[in-house]
Every structure is written in C-alpha cells, then in structure tokens.
C-alpha cells in the first residue's frame, strides 16, 4: 500500500469519476459515507448494514427482507445511470447502456479487508443517532484528500491521518451532540477545518 502513487489511485478499473470520489473509493471512505447515508435515509441501525466488495462493480445494493427474500440493485458501472435516476426517478431512457447478464454468473462478493482499508473501522463506533461527528468526519476526509491530491502526503499518510484525527477527543465528543440546525453543521465544519489548518497547513 505504501507504493501506491496518486496516478495509481486515480486509475479506477471500472468507474470514470472525479478525482475526489475516486480517492474516496480507493480508501473505501466512500463506503463509510454510504453506510451513514443508508442509516440516515432508511432509519436502519448500523448493525443491520454490511459492506461487501464487488470487483466488477455491477451490484450496487443488496436488501434482505424478513421473509428471506433478497433483492439486488444491479447496473453497469456508468455514472449516467445513478445521476439520471436521482434526477428523473428511474424514467431516463439510456438505450446504449445494457447490463451484461453473464457478469452476474460470478459476483465475487467479499468482505472488506480492514487491514488494507482501515477507514472501515470508523463504522464500528458510529452513534446510531444523527450527530455532529458525521460532519466532522466529512470535513476531515475532505481536508486530507485535498492534501493527497496536491501530493503533499502519500496514500498511507492519507488513511492514517483521517483515522488519527477522527479519534481525537475533541472530535469524539461530537458523537454526543445531536444535529439541530444547519448553522451548527457549518460551525463544526469551520471549527474542524481551522484546527486542521493550524496543525497540518
């Protein structure tokens, strides 16, 4: 992992995305954020949500129902699909993007290796209530990804720095503070950013 260059990081095998989200994909921080989103949007507790890696990037969600039925969300790894779905509510006609059903014969779903992707461990201690810790986490990640994209830190320093700051006492205290308004979010974002700039500018 120490030999991963910025050029390597930005070469996603399946997706063509912006630099920031591609870095988040390489560190698996995007999965941390997606789990937080799923918890907030659907009201599901963290212990009911799991992450599996899927190298082909065709399966995007799996939902298991109480009656034993499982539904899969599958589509070709093309950002046109999720973007158009979010805008047009699945009504877009993108005729040139077809799912290769043969891909589904071997899904290769695997648990995430927390040794190679240590940021996943952040989810173990996430509070089940909406807290300002989530705002701090986004701010910390944004700050160090920006440093990485400027070649000021390497890949290992990127993940280590995010983990280290996310476990600082002044950040952990935010887990007990519920979000009550938008101004609070901005204040925490600015507070964390200032702390980071003073130390890691």
Question: 200 with 139: CB under 8 angstroms?
Answer: no
Give residue 200's pLDDT band: very low, low, confident or very high (50, 70, 90).
low
Spatial neighbors of 117 by CB under 8 A, at least 6 apart, are 27, 28, 159
pLDDT digits (tens, 9 = 90+) for 176-199: 999 999 999 999 999 999 999 887
Element (H, E) at 11: none
**183, 185, 186, 188: CA torsion to nearest 10:** 120
pLDDT at 75: 85
pLDDT digits (tens, 9 = 90+) for 21-38: 899 999 999 999 999 999
Question: 85 with 92: CB under 8 angstroms?
Answer: yes
pLDDT at 104: 75
Nearest C-alpha neighbor of 165 from the set 139, 126, 127, 201: 139
Give residue 201's pLDDT band: very low, low, confident or very high (50, 70, 90).
low
What percentage of the chain reaches a pLDDT higher than 70? 97
Question: 163 with 121: CB under 8 angstroms?
Answer: yes
Q: Report residue 72: phi and psi, to 5°.
A: -110, 140
CA 125, 43, 77, 107 torsion-angle sign: positive
Query: What pTM, to 2 d.p., does this model score?
Result: 0.85
pLDDT digits (tens, 9 = 90+) for 35-86: 999 999 888 889 899 999 888 888 889 999 999 999 998 888 888 888 888 8
DSSP-assigned letter for residue 74: E
Calpha distance 7→77 (Å, rounded): 21
142 vs 14, higher pLDDT: 142
86 vs 168, higher pLDDT: 168
Pairing state of beta strands 59-64 and 70-74? antiparallel
C-alpha distances (whole Å) from 137 to each of 6, 68, 164 are 22, 35, 11
Spatial neighbors of 184 by CB under 8 A, at least 6 apart, are 132
Q: Where are the domains of the chain?
A: 1-46+118-201, 52-111
The mean pLDDT of 108-135, rounded to a whole number, is: 89
Question: 143 with 158: CB under 8 angstroms?
Answer: no
What percentage of the chain reaches a pLDDT higher than 90? 51
Give residue 95's pLDDT band: very low, low, confident or very high (50, 70, 90).
low
């Amino acid at each position: 992992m120490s030999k991963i260059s910025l050029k390597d990081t930005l070469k996603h095998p399946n997706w063509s995305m912006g630099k920031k989200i591609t870095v988040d994909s390489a560190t698996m921080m995007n999965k941390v954020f997606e789990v937080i989103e799923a918890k907030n949007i659907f009201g599901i507790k963290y212990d009911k949500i799991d992450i599996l890696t899927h190298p082909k990037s065709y399966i995007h969600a799996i939902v298991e129902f109480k009656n034993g039925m499982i539904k899969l969300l599958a589509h070709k790894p093309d950002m046109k699909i999720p973007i158009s779905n979010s805008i047009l509510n699945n009504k877009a006609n993108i005729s040139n993007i077809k799912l290769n059903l043969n891909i589904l014969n071997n899904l290769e779903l695997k648990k995430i290796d927390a040794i190679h992707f240590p940021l996943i461990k952040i989810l173990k201690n996430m509070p089940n209530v909406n807290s300002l810790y989530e705002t701090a986490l986004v701010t910390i990640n944004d700050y160090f990804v920006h440093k990485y994209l400027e070649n000021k830190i390497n890949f290992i320093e990127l993940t280590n720095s995010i983990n280290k700051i996310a476990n600082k006492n002044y950040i952990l205290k935010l887990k007990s503070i519920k979000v009550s308004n938008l101004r609070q979010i901005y204040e925490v974002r600015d507070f964390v950013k200032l702390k980071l700039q003073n130390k890691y500018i």
